[in-house]
Amino acid sequence: MQNDPVALEARHGAHNYHPLPVVLTRGEGVYLFDTEGRRYLDMMSAYSAVSFGHSHPALVQALTEQAQRLAVTSRAFHTDRLGPFLAALCSATGMERALPMNSGAEAVETAIKAARKWAYKVKRVPEGRAQIVVAEGNFAGRTTTIVGFSSEAQYRDGFGPFAPGFVSVPYGDAAALERAIGPHTAAFIVEPIQGEAGIVVPPAGYLREVRAICNRHDVLMICDEVQTGLGRTGAMLACDHEGVRPDGLTLGKALGGGLLPVSAFLARADVMDQFTPGDHGSTFGGNPLAAAVGLAALELLERDRLAERAADLGAYLMERLRGLRHPAITELRGRGLLVGVQIDPSVASARQVCEALMHEGVLTKDTHHTVVRLAPPLTITRAQVDVAVAALARVLQALAPAAARVEQPLPA
């Protein structure tokens, strides 16, 4: 059909995504609506970008009011929105300095530049020799530098040559990190919970060990919290669960309130102060519109105690999922409202489960073909959690009826 949006996308767009076969047109709170008017429970929230729900009135108001006043000037000039936003961001995270960008990948690229310059100017690593340690299974974005240190073959295939200076170690293995550190090591960049790898939670105490190792060797600990930050795991930052303060921090996704891309690299003053005028920048980074929405998002996060809500509802979600006792579920992983449901591939692929959930009125996405991601807006209710779990129970029953052992009937 000439005006079919899916056909138009296929004809005129790059085929770099494989969306579920649904065409969405509207969002409200925890719900999405398709072009036929059907309502779906959003259990993915755009990889945490929609942590506040779709079209939250307070965030839409902040966006609208600021758009009518001043949207973009570039950083060639001061604006009345940026300072308050940066102050609130530093206050919320306990960091000293913040550098605003747009996408999460840009925040990580900024962290890489900051770590290298700090290594040369402060640690006195010989120019061009700085190394950054990363963890296997990492996902920090799609830029050429970042995919160059990915351990996922597809992310690298056809995109080399890649930038040198990165060393990869097994995730969750603190001893391996210490062995990998040398005199030229600038930083270790790590996700407190690996999202794209399948919601992989490291062993208890891992981040504390990493912090101690980095202290011993004068290496920057940089936590990539683009997905896990801002309340998602039941704390402001996922590293807060172990009482760890990193030297650098990347945030994004939820920082834009589900309305526009907003990200930031935050760090100790001595790290951030290595940047001088002309070293780094972005036409849109820190624009008044982004700053106004980011500030409103931070205020909403605190006002509605959304981190605490994620802790409570995340525990409830895990309890309900464990109650399914279905053999197709081989493992449950996560923290707060970031949960991965590992599916036995002999029963079904995670993609099949997600497609079946779509027909049940629940939207989410698989990762690595075997994990169903459950990461709804932090505004979800217990009743809505029950709806999602009941839908999953019906899907698993249909996919593996002979093996199903659901403990008790679940609410519809």
Catalytic residue among 240, 253, 275, 365: 253
Q: What is the pLDDT of residue 1?
A: 58
3-state secondary structure 293-361: HHHHHHHHHHHCCHHHHHHHHHHHHHHHHHHHCCCCEEEEEEECCEEEEEECCCCCCHHHHHHHHHHCC
What residue ranges of the chain are covered by domains with CATH 3.40.640.10?
57-303
The two tokens of residue 202 are 């490291």
What residue ranges of the chain are covered by domains with CATH 3.90.1150.10?
5-55+305-399
The two tokens of residue 381 are 């209710």
- Cα angle: 397, vertex 403, 409; to 5 degrees: 45
Q: Which residues of the chain have pLDDT under 50?
A: 404-412
Q: What is the pLDDT of residue 274?
A: 97
224 is catalytic: yes
Q: What is the pLDDT of residue 373?
A: 98
253 is catalytic: yes
Has this prediction a pTM greater than 0.75? yes
DSSP 121: I
Catalytic residue among 224, 240, 247, 366: 224
Compute the CA torsion angle 284, 188, 222, 229 (nearest 10 deg).
Answer: 90
- List, in sequence order, every beta strand (DSSP E) within 272-370: 329-335, 338-343, 362-363, 366-367
- Give the count of beta carbons closer than 10 Å to the beta carbon of residue 16: 6
77 is catalytic: no
Q: Are 190 and 135 in contact (CB under 8 A)?
A: yes
Question: For residues 111 and 187, what is the distance between their CA atoms, to the nearest angstrom?
Answer: 9
CA distances from 402 to 152, 281, 350 (A): 35, 58, 19
Catalytic residue among 52, 139, 166, 188: 139
pLDDT digits (tens, 9 = 90+) for 106-144: 999 999 999 999 999 999 999 999 999 999 999 999 999
Q: What is the pLDDT of residue 408?
A: 41
Q: What is the pLDDT of residue 400?
A: 79
Q: What is the pLDDT of residue 409?
A: 39
Question: For residues 147 and 165, what is the distance between their CA atoms, to the nearest angstrom?
Answer: 13
Q: What is the CATH number of domain 57-303?
A: 3.40.640.10
Secondary-structure class of domain 5-55+305-399 per CATH:
alpha beta
